[in-house]
Amino acid sequence: MIYRVKVDVFLKDGVSDPEGFTIAEAAQSLEIAPIIRVRSGKSFLIELDISSQEEALAAAERLGRELLSNPVIEDFVVAESVEVDHG
Amino acid sequence: MIYRVKVDVFLKDGVSDPEGFTIAEAAQSLEIAPIIRVRSGKSFLIELDISSQEEALAAAERLGRELLSNPVIEDFVVAESVEVDHG
Amino acid sequence: MDKAVGVVVFPGTNCEHDVVEALVDLGVPHRLIWHRETDLMDLECVIIPGGFAHGDYLRPGAIAKFSPVMKAVSSFATSGRSVLGICNGFQVLTEAKLLEGALQKNAGLSFICDVVECEVASRNSPVTSSLELGEKLRLPINHFEGNYTCAEDDLKRLLDEDRIILRYVDNPNGSIGDIAAICNKDRNIVGMMPHPERAMSDLLGSSSGRKILASLLERSAVLS
Amino acid sequence: MAEPLHIALGLTDEEFAMIRSVLQRDPNDLELAMYSVMWSEHCSYKSSRVHLRRLPTEGPSVIMGPGENAGVIDVGDGFALAIRMESHNHPSAIEPYQGAATGVGGILRDIFTVGARPVALLDSLWMGPQNDPKSRWIFKGVVSGISGYGNAVGVPTVGGETHFEEKFGYNPLVNVAAIGIAPKEHLIKAAATGAGNLVVLLGAPTGRDGIGGVSILASTGFGGESDSSKRPSVQVGDPFEEKKLIELCLDLLRSDLLVGIQDLGGAGLSCATSETAAKGGSSMDIYLDKVPRRESCMEPFEVMISESQERMLAIVHPSNLDKVLALAEHWEVQASVVGEVKDPERWLDGKVRGILRVYDHRDGELLAEVPAGSLADEAPLYDRERREPEGWKRKLQDAPSVDSVTEDVLNDLLKTTFDPSTVYRQYDHQLFLNTIVGPGEDAALLRIGAPGVGRVERSFGVSVDGNPRWCVVHPRRGAAATVVESVMNIACVGAKAVALVDCLNFGNPTHPEVMWQLSESIDGVAEACEALGVAVVGGNVSLYNEANGVDIDPTPTVTTVGLSNIPSLPVPSLARSSVGSSLYLIGESCETLSGSAFAFDFLNSDGGNLFTFDYDKVTRLRDTAIELFEHADAYGVETLHNVSSGGVLDAVREISASSRVGCVL
């Protein structure tokens, strides 16, 4: 079966985020709403050929730790895992 | 009040995603699970000083459309909106 | 003839001085335009040079499009005068919707600084009017996001309306249709990824850029 | 009983006693933190300074030498050239992208802090073998960090070198050099003079970047619970902020609004405040509440030793403050007055000297009171024990010989393993329209000129060089050979060497063999520099390069610069050799294979004694190369290439590859 997992990767708290800072200033200048803070990160949608939800989550966990994030400055979270049928 | 909204930005279907392709190859080589496809994207956590959930979602929608995504090649989705108290 | 060429500067732009040196070399008066300025009416033509406006954060040109100068550039263009966006300038023009399409990461996912061969794909533009169709030019490129892309129907329109100005002979970055430069419908706004200002003398590797800038400036009746 | 705080902070008992005698009391935690970073090896050079004194630093064109933020030489017509080199080895091993990126950011700040517009970057990379995944990850990260930061900040990377060896897998080396051009009247020193002048912090807000070992104070010191936000974080570079900072600082200098300026590097505010005060012979008050912060509830020691990037400390006369703040606003850079310069005062020892005082806010609580010079200049200097390695003399007799080679190794020798263009193609090496000879050649040749400075119809050659194998065989002769190599490289682009900066990458100084290597290498650099009339105008020492007890090979690297004319076309290049041309070998070959790539790679031998030089012959060879380059057309010279590691075979292979021609020897 095919599962689609979503892994979000963000800079650890305390690690300087110049991109987030610059985007916050730009967002503020649009005067849509008072911006307090912006944190910029990456997100990955991964389709896996795997047999169960648990295994999909476990695989996403390993991919997040070993490939998708740099543990020195980034944290990751497995945001979702959904079964997808390629009918 | 302070709300934290999350906006995810992904390349439109059909738009070439060399980054996603390269990550898929790397993920495959780790032999964690058979990888079918990887789509790479961006994610933004934005803290807004705003009075209600609806307004927070509306602001996130505008930020996504006017700033955070390039409609020519990207779609965005307001993934979540959570009240945050800076106690 | 004291009409000057305006060279736009955003925080993070870094090729403005090279463009100025090229203009001085061609004997053309110029003026640097800070991104907060809005009065361009005294200018004959506007160049948006290369660099990393706002550090290329979020997307190259994504933030620059909100600078006050861009409204002025837009109205300047509607007056029919020429606007040339070089590299980061081309990215800013697409983000500001003054040109179709978008510039994505290079196919090889790495920055490229090199001299490549381009060929003139249309003579009907401010930058190629004094060149030959198919003429080969050796032009420096210097970018991470030079992979031009656009929707199928946009590509079709670019082809039908002869608005692809320069093509790469040996595509370095995956651009659709080997596109290196395009112009808008009214043919007065040009976006190009190669750097003509870096090709002004054989001592530095190529003088092909001289023809492009001279053509733009003749077209703007600045070069007396 | 837990170890005393000063030991945990890396200070010895004797050093702690010295501090107590200066303060005539126990230092409080903030003072201890400041001393621990200012008296660290990295900031004080305490294990190497006694030897560095033997380097020749004088020269007819030298304007600023070691001790200043950058070396500066006079290049004529009212222009000066600033040059500096730094290592970022340890940060790059932890986070390769940011380690290399902040290395570029830091070296650039040393250039524009003396008033020069940065015009060129070079990098010297020593990586582990690329079949090892970790070494591959480090190498990829380092190159993208240099490319990402250097390209975005708008300074061309015009040259460098990359080497792969087993030992560097455990401890990679990332040395970065930068060069700037300034009108001589814009040059400025980093001194805080004039009581009443204001101390203005320019640039990025302060966070907990790079606090490292001293962070233990957070848990033991002020009783604050150490939650995750307290953890020290890796320094992150922001090339966009640095680009704005460069334009602001050069604008402030053009408008003559500064009394002095210093960049914030290692030890952050503690270093910038104590060094400028000590240099200016002034006292200085700092008000911590005025320092813009990026994190909440930062403790005083965190603010004073944070190594957040892209920050400068400027000394401004009060009458100029409004103009400075207006320019900062124009260039969209944060500027805040964080202190004031005061007159020197009589200290407890009766001497009149500059005192650094840190308050939580103006007229608030005094948090630290220390003589500025004690922090900045009076770290104890050590002449650590040196010892020639066991059996070294015996190894000198054990010369490698080819007799043991039986099968035909020529094909292996010709196997090219690494194409440097895959690296330098990622660097903008064209910006500012100065690059006549770019990366991929023996050296870079750039026109002298820069935006906002103007242009002179002359050029300078620059090259960064190192060869640890030579130094493994014989540290002194190896270091001398490294200088000769660099001088010959720039001669191949028509430049006569006048100055160099060095980066001394060595192991643990408490190992006597390492101190012997360092001392010998310094003597080797001194010997070659004196013989060839090259002044050492600055340098950096990086020690403790080791992993699980194994020290790296001694790796002194140098960046050499020399002046030249604008060459006429066509300019000689590795890529211009044409079919039918003949190859000439100029100069004499030496008999020994000792220290050669062949000896190390094929004979697995680091024995034998290294070649030495007849410096008169070196000078004549250098001048011959300069003559051939400058009048290449007249002599019919298409290519001029320096034979170095890999010998004639490698030199010919490089020409053949670049010119896409065959060669018959």
* Interval A31-81: pLDDT, tens: 999 999 999 999 999 999 999 999 999 999 999 999 999 998 999 999 988
The active-site residue, picked from C87, C118, C150, C183, is C87
Domain extent, residue B26, equals 2-84
Minimum-distance CB partner of A16 among D95, D228, D294: D294
For chain B, the domain total comes to 1
Here the CATH number for the domain that contains residue A24 is 3.30.1280.10
Q: What is the dihedral of CA D312, D318, D322, D327, to 10 degrees?
A: -30
**What local confidence, expressed as pLDDT, does residue B62 receive?**
96
pLDDT mean across residues, chain B: 92
In D, minimum Cα distance to C196 occurs at D433
> Distance between CA atoms of D624 and D5, rounded to whole angstroms?
61
**A42 in B contact zone (CB under 8 Å):** yes
Taking CB atoms and an 8 Å cutoff, what residues of chain D touch A72? 94-95, 234
Minimum-distance CB partner of D241 among A13, A18, A72: A18
**A22 in C contact zone (CB under 8 Å):** yes
User: Is residue C143 among the annotated active site residues?
Assistant: no
How many H-runs (helices) and E-runs (strands) does chain A carry? 2, 3
Min Cα separation A73/chain B (Å):
16
User: Is residue D361 among the annotated active site residues?
Assistant: no
> Distance between CA atoms of A48 and A57, rounded to whole angstroms?
10
**A70 in D contact zone (CB under 8 Å):** yes
Taking CB atoms and an 8 Å cutoff, what residues of chain C touch B18? 104-109, 174
**What local confidence, expressed as pLDDT, does residue D214 receive?**
72
Letter string b/e over residues B2-26, b meaning 16 or more CB atoms within 10 A of that residue's CB: bbbbbbbbbbeeeebbbbbeebbee
In C, minimum Cα distance to D570 occurs at C203
Pair of tokens at residue D347: 């200290």
State the chains in contact with C (3 or more Cβ–Cβ pairs under 8 Å): A, B, D
In A, minimum Cα distance to B46 occurs at A38
Pair of tokens at residue D170: 């455990």
Min Cα separation C196/chain D (Å):
12
Mutate which of C59, C66, C90, C148 to disrupt the B interface (most B C-beta within 10 Å)? C59
> Distance between CA atoms of D626 and D565, rounded to whole angstroms?
10
- Residues B28-40: tens digit of each pLDDT: 988 888 999 999 9
Whether D99 contacts D174, CB under 8 Å: yes
- Identify the H or E element spanning C173: none
- Identify the H or E element spanning D629: helix D615-630
Interval B1-26 mean pLDDT: 93
Residue labelled with tokens 């650094």 = D356
> Distance between CA atoms of D399 and C99, rounded to whole angstroms?
68
Whether C59 contacts C103, CB under 8 Å: no
Minimum-distance CB partner of B15 among C62, C108, C149: C149
**B77 in A contact zone (CB under 8 Å):** no
Q: Which residues make beta-bridge pairs with D50?
A: none
Tell me the one-letter amino acid at D18: M
Min Cα separation C102/chain B (Å):
7
What secondary structure letter does DSSP report for D132?
Answer: S
Mutate which of D90, D92, D98 to disrupt the A interface (most A C-beta within 10 Å)? D98
CB pairs under 8 A between B and C: 35
**What local confidence, expressed as pLDDT, does residue D230 receive?**
58
- Residues C28-85: tens digit of each pLDDT: 999 999 999 999 999 999 999 999 999 999 999 999 999 999 999 999 999 999 999 9
State the chains in contact with A (3 or more Cβ–Cβ pairs under 8 Å): B, C, D
In D, minimum Cα distance to C144 occurs at D426
User: In chain C, what percentage of residues exceed pLDDT 70?
Assistant: 97
- Nearest alpha carbon to residue D72 among D113, D105, D40, D31: D113
Q: Which residues make beta-bridge pairs with D448?
A: D456
Q: How far is CA A35 from the centre of its chain?
A: 21
**What local confidence, expressed as pLDDT, does residue D221 receive?**
31
Phi-psi region of A33 (alpha: psi -120 to 50; beta: other; left: phi over 0): beta
Taking CB atoms and an 8 Å cutoff, what residues of chain A touch D241? 18
Structural domains in chain C, CATH included, are 4-219 (3.40.50.880)
- Residues C128-168: tens digit of each pLDDT: 999 999 999 999 999 999 999 999 999 999 999 999 999 99
How many Cβ atoms from other residues are within 10 Å of residue B31's Cβ? 8
- Give A 26-65 residues with CB within 8 A of chain C: 26, 29-30, 40
**B16 in C contact zone (CB under 8 Å):** yes
Mutate which of D206, D226, D236 to disrupt the A interface (most A C-beta within 10 Å)? D236
Q: What is the DSSP string of D557-617?
A: EEEEEEEEEPPPSSPP-TT---TT------SPPPS--TT-HHHHHTS----S------HHH
Residue A75: burial class (beta carbons within 10 Å; 0-12, 13-18, 19+) = middle
Mean pLDDT by 10 residues, chain D (665 residues): 87 96 97 96 92 95 94 96 96 94 97 97 96 94 98 98 91 97 94 97 94 66 44 85 98 96 95 97 98 92 95 98 98 98 97 97 96 96 95 92 79 80 97 96 96 91 97 97 98 98 96 97 98 97 91 97 94 96 92 89 90 95 96 95 91 93 93
The active-site residue, picked from D42, D51, D429, D474, is D42
**B72 in A contact zone (CB under 8 Å):** no
E-assigned strand segments in D270-334: 283-287, 311-316
D394: phi then psi, degrees, rounded to nearest 5: -60, -40
Tell me what ipTM this predicted complex has. Answer: 0.94
**B70 in C contact zone (CB under 8 Å):** yes
- Between chains, do A15 and D234 touch, taking CB under 8 Å as contact? yes
> Distance between CA atoms of D532 and D120, rounded to whole angstroms?
25
Whether C103 contacts C182, CB under 8 Å: no
Interval B11-23 mean pLDDT: 91
- Between chains, do C58 and A18 touch, taking CB under 8 Å as contact? no
Min Cα separation D109/chain A (Å):
18
Minimum-distance CB partner of A22 among D98, D240, D308: D240
Taking CB atoms and an 8 Å cutoff, what residues of chain C touch A18? 55, 57
> Distance between CA atoms of D511 and D552, rounded to whole angstroms?
12
Residue labelled with tokens 């079966």 = A1
**C4 in B contact zone (CB under 8 Å):** no
- Between chains, do A26 and C63 touch, taking CB under 8 Å as contact? yes
Taking CB atoms and an 8 Å cutoff, what residues of chain A touch B32? 59, 62-63, 66
> Distance between CA atoms of D470 and D521, rounded to whole angstroms?
11
Cis peptide leading into residue D172 (ω within 30°): no
SS3 C142: strand
- Between chains, do C195 and D430 touch, taking CB under 8 Å as contact? yes
**C66 in A contact zone (CB under 8 Å):** yes
How many Cβ atoms from other residues are within 10 Å of residue D438's Cβ? 22
- D597-603 long-range Cβ contacts below 8 angstroms, 24+ apart: D597/D469, D597/D645, D597/D646, D597/D647, D597/D650, D598/D400, D598/D413, D598/D646, D598/D647, D599/D400, D600/D469, D602/D405, D602/D409, D602/D412, D602/D413, D603/D400, D603/D401, D603/D402, D603/D404, D603/D405
> Distance between CA atoms of D387 and C110, rounded to whole angstroms?
47
> Distance between CA atoms of A70 and A65, rounded to whole angstroms?
8
Q: CA D635 → CA C130, D625, D638, distances in Å?
A: 39, 12, 9
Mutate which of B72, B73, B74, B75 to disrupt the C interface (most C C-beta within 10 Å)? B72
**What local confidence, expressed as pLDDT, does residue D222 receive?**
33
Residue labelled with tokens 């300078």 = D460
Model's pTM, two decimal places?
Answer: 0.95
- Residues D442-478: tens digit of each pLDDT: 999 999 999 988 999 999 999 999 999 999 999 999 9
Q: CA D151 → CA B75, C12, D10, D243, D605, distances in Å?
A: 29, 11, 37, 11, 41
Pair of tokens at residue C60: 């190259």
- Nearest alpha carbon to residue C191 among C138, C135, C130, C143: C143
> Distance between CA atoms of C219 and C5, rounded to whole angstroms?
12
